[in-house]
Amino acid sequence: MLTVLASGVAALVALLAPAGDASALPSQDAGVSALSQDATDPYVVWKPLQSPSEEQEKAYALLKTLDAQGSKQCNTVGEASWTYNTNITEENKKKKVAGSLAYAKWQKESWRQVQEWKGRWENFTDENLKRQFSKWNLLGTAALEPADLEKYENLESDMSTIYSTATICNYWDKESGFWDNQECNLNLEPDVKDILEKSNHYDELTYVWKSWRDNSGKKMRKKYSEFVGLANKAAMINGFDNMGDMWLFPYESKTFRDDVKRLWEEMKPLYQQLHAYVRRKLRNIHGADKIGPRSPLPAHLMGNMWAQSWNEKLDQFTPYPGKASLDVTAEMVKQGFTAKKMFELSEEFFVSLNLTKMPQEFWDKSVIERPNDREINCHASAWDFCNHKDFRIKQCTSVKMVDLITVHHEMGHIQYYLQYNDQPYIYRGGANPGFHEAVGDVLALSVATPKHLHKIGLLKTLQNDAEDDINFLMATALEKIVFLPFAYLMDNWRWDVFSGAVKEENWNCHWWNYRTNVQGIKPPVKRSELDFDPGAKYHIPANVPYIRYFVSFIIQFQFHKSLCLLANEYDPQDPNKPLHQCDIYQSTEAGAALSAMLKQGESIPWPEALKKLTGTDLLDASIISEYFKPLEDWLKKDNEKHGEFVGWEADDVYCA
Count CA atoms within 13 Å of residue 515 on its CB side. Answer: 23
How far does CA 289 lie from the centroid of its chain?
A: 36
Please give the C-alpha separations between residue 75 and each of 6, 80, 387, 539, 547, in angstroms, as whole numbers. Answer: 9, 9, 7, 23, 27
**What is the spatial distance between Cα 326 and Cα 315, in angstroms, rounded to a whole number?**
10
Give residue 134's identity as a one-letter amino acid code: S
> What's phi and psi for 463, nearest 5 deg?
-110, 150
121 within a domain of the structure (yes/no): yes
> Omega before 545 cis (within 30°)?
no
Count CA atoms within 13 Å of residue 487 on its CB side. Answer: 24
The answer to whether 43 touches 422, Cβ cutoff 8 Å, is: yes
State the pLDDT at residue 293: 97
Does the pLDDT value for residue 25 go beyond 50? Answer: no
Does the pLDDT value for residue 16 go beyond 70? Answer: no
State the pLDDT at residue 470: 98
527 pairs with which residues across the strands? 655
Host H or E run for residue 606: helix 606-614
Across 285-320, b (16+ Cβ under 10 Å) vs e yields: eeeeeebeeebbbbbbbbbbbbbbbbbbbbebbbbe
Torsion of CA 174, 178, 180, 185, to 10 degrees: -90
Percent of the chain with pLDDT over 90: 89
The closest of 308, 567, 262, 310 to 442, measured between CA atoms, is 567
Degrees (nearest 5) of the Cα angle 30, 147, 113? 20
Per-residue pLDDT band at 449 (split at 50, 70, 90): very high
Mean pLDDT of the chain: 92
Structure-model confidence comparison of residues 21 and 111, the more confident one: 111
**What is the spatial distance between Cα 355 and Cα 340, in angstroms, rounded to a whole number?**
20
409 labeled binding residue: yes
> If DSSP codes are grouped into helix, strand and coil, which group holds residue 583?
coil
Lowest mean pLDDT across 47-51, 380-384, 567-571: 47-51
Kindly report, residue by residue over 283-330, the tens digit of the pLDDT.
Answer: 999 999 999 999 999 999 999 999 999 999 999 999 999 898 889 999
Does the pLDDT value for residue 133 go beyond 80? Answer: yes
State the pLDDT at residue 51: 84
Kindly report, residue by residue over 236-286, the tens digit of the pLDDT.
Answer: 999 999 999 999 999 999 999 999 999 999 999 999 999 999 999 999 999
Cβ within 8 Å of residue 515, ≥6 positions away? 299, 489, 521, 522, 523
Per-residue pLDDT band at 183 (split at 50, 70, 90): confident
State the pLDDT at residue 181: 64
Q: Tell me the H-state helices in 40-145.
A: 54-86, 90-115, 127-136
**What is the spatial distance between Cα 370 and Cα 279, in angstroms, rounded to a whole number?**
35
Does the pLDDT value for residue 3 go beyond 90? Answer: no
**What is the spatial distance between Cα 41 and Cα 65, in angstroms, rounded to a whole number?**
9
Kindly report, residue by residue over 591-637, the tens digit of the pLDDT.
Answer: 999 999 999 999 999 999 999 999 999 999 999 999 999 999 999 99
State the pLDDT at residue 560: 98
78 within a domain of the structure (yes/no): yes
State the pLDDT at residue 17: 25
Average pLDDT score over residue span 47-72: 95
Domain that holds residue 85: 18-137
Per-residue pLDDT band at 182 (split at 50, 70, 90): confident
State the pLDDT at residue 40: 82
Please give the C-alpha separations between residue 540 and each of 65, 72, 77, in angstroms, as whole numbers. Answer: 35, 29, 21
State the pLDDT at residue 33: 34
> If DSSP codes are grouped into helix, strand and coil, which group holds residue 1?
coil
Count CA atoms within 13 Å of residue 61 on its CB side. Answer: 15
The answer to whether 492 touches 514, Cβ cutoff 8 Å, is: yes
42 within a domain of the structure (yes/no): yes
> What's phi and psi for 215, nearest 5 deg?
-100, 0
Across 233-252, b (16+ Cβ under 10 Å) vs e yields: bbbbbbbbebbbbbbbbbbe
Average pLDDT score over residue span 488-504: 99
22 within a domain of the structure (yes/no): yes
Please give the C-alpha separations between residue 230 and each of 2, 4, 250, 496, in angstroms, as whole numbers. Answer: 24, 18, 21, 16
**DSSP calls for 478-517:** HHHHHHHHHHHHHHHHHHHHHHTSS-GGGHHHHHHHHHHH
Cβ within 8 Å of residue 558, ≥6 positions away? 610, 613, 614, 616, 619, 620, 623
State the pLDDT at residue 495: 99
The answer to whether 278 touches 297, Cβ cutoff 8 Å, is: yes
State the pLDDT at residue 205: 98
Does the pLDDT value for residue 471 go beyond 60? Answer: yes
Does the pLDDT value for residue 39 go beyond 90? Answer: no
**DSSP calls for 522-564:** E-SS-B-TT--GGGGSTTTTTT---HHHHHHHHHHHHHHHHHH
26 within a domain of the structure (yes/no): yes
Kindly report, residue by residue over 71-94, the tens digit of the pLDDT.
Answer: 999 999 999 999 999 999 999 999
State the pLDDT at residue 179: 58
State the pLDDT at residue 38: 52
The answer to whether 65 touches 38, Cβ cutoff 8 Å, is: yes
**What is the spatial distance between Cα 487 and Cα 547, in angstroms, rounded to a whole number?**
6
186 pairs with which residues across the strands? 168
202 labeled binding residue: no
**DSSP calls for 554-581:** HHHHHHHHHHHHHTT---TT-TTS-GGG
Does the pLDDT value for residue 13 go beyond 60? Answer: no
The count of domains in the chain is: 1
DSSP state of 291: S
Q: Which residues are catalytic?
A: 410, 539
Per-residue pLDDT band at 545 (split at 50, 70, 90): very high
Does the pLDDT value for residue 10 go beyond 80? Answer: no
Average pLDDT score over residue span 473-493: 98
Average pLDDT score over residue span 347-362: 98
Does the pLDDT value for residue 22 go beyond 60? Answer: no
State the pLDDT at residue 288: 96
Across 191-210, b (16+ Cβ under 10 Å) vs e yields: bbbebbbebeebebbbbbbb
Cβ within 8 Å of residue 411, ≥6 positions away? 343, 346, 347, 350, 358, 382, 393, 440, 443
Count CA atoms within 13 Å of residue 484 on its CB side. Answer: 27
99 within a domain of the structure (yes/no): yes
Q: Tell me the H-state helices in 287-400.
A: 314-317, 329-334, 339-352, 360-365
Average pLDDT score over residue span 179-205: 90
74 within a domain of the structure (yes/no): yes
Q: What's the chain's length in residues? A: 656
133 within a domain of the structure (yes/no): yes
Per-residue pLDDT band at 1 (split at 50, 70, 90): low
